[in-house]
Amino acid sequence: MVETVRYRRILVKLSGEALMGSQSFGIAPSVVASVAGELADVHRLGVQVAAVVGGGNIIRGVSAHGQGIDRITGDSMGMLATVINALALSSAIEQLAIPTRVQTAIEMHEVAEPFIRRRAIRHLEKGRLVVFAGGTGSPFFTTDSAAALRANEIDAEVLIKATKVDGVFTADPATVPEAKLIPRLSYQEVLTRELRVMDAAAIALCKESAIPVQIFNIGKPGSLRRVVLGEQVGSWIGPEEAV
């Protein structure tokens, strides 16, 4: 049976923390392999897939700043950490016989291509899975903002944020057992209620371009595929009239 996909070009935002599994630090190879498998599964449906990775499993700029490193230097360290994660993810995907390209906002020609919008789109059109690293290339911006920016630049039909939770809840489900999942929200509701599912700049950018945001749990096998096929998974954020 031929499956009909809802989206033809997607951008998946992966946090660095999602790659460390149960570890307190670093990269868990089994988790990276699992994430790579989820991305590959969707790619085989004929979907053009791009990903933005964070670096929080290695170092985050905000945390580094709290330890006495100046903010700009700390953010630069965090951006470099995303490159390490991108290379690990790219390697795992390549082992599944899917060609990849890593593009970075900080030029480092020996390990990755510089981000060039038209080249990134061409890679997607040729069936390559593109992994974006280096954040926006500037301090003070999160990888959520980088994901929203890249989604706009490559004309992605949706920004899919892979997390460790099932979506957006009325309260923190880890501390409030009766918290309920909110399946659909508007951009404005997320901003007004300060729900912190993504930083405000990222949500505002998606709102301006009307790019929907899908929040889901990457730890549940097959969930990304279900999102791409248009099933109700996790929480969807979009224009108010569509909620």
Q: What is the CATH number of the domain that holds 199?
A: 3.40.1160.10
pTM above 0.85, yes or no: yes
Tokens of 31: 């988790």
Strands 129-133 and 184-186: unpaired
Judge whether 57 lies within some domain.
yes
pLDDT at 2: 57
Judge whether 2 lies within some domain.
no
- pLDDT values of the chain reduced to their tens digit, one per residue, 243 residues: 557 999 999 999 999 988 988 888 899 999 999 999 999 999 999 999 999 999 999 987 777 767 789 999 999 999 999 999 999 999 999 999 999 999 999 999 999 999 999 999 999 999 999 999 999 999 999 999 999 999 999 999 999 999 888 999 988 888 888 999 999 999 999 999 988 889 999 999 999 999 999 999 998 999 999 999 999 999 999 998 887
Judge whether 1 lies within some domain.
no
pLDDT at 123: 98
| Exposed e or buried b per residue across 112-139, where buried means at least 16 C-beta atoms within 10 angstroms of its C-beta | bbebeeeebbebbeeebbbbbbbbbbeb
Measure the CA–CA gap between 72 and 139, rounded to whole angstroms.
6
Instruction: Give the domain range for residue 210.
Output: 9-242
pLDDT at 88: 97
Measure the CA–CA gap between 168 and 200, rounded to whole angstroms.
15
φ, ψ for residue 238, nearest 5 deg? -160, -165
What is the domain count for the chain? Answer: 1
Judge whether 3 lies within some domain.
no
| Exposed e or buried b per residue across 5-33, where buried means at least 16 C-beta atoms within 10 angstroms of its C-beta | eebebbbbbbbbebbbbeeeeebbeebbb
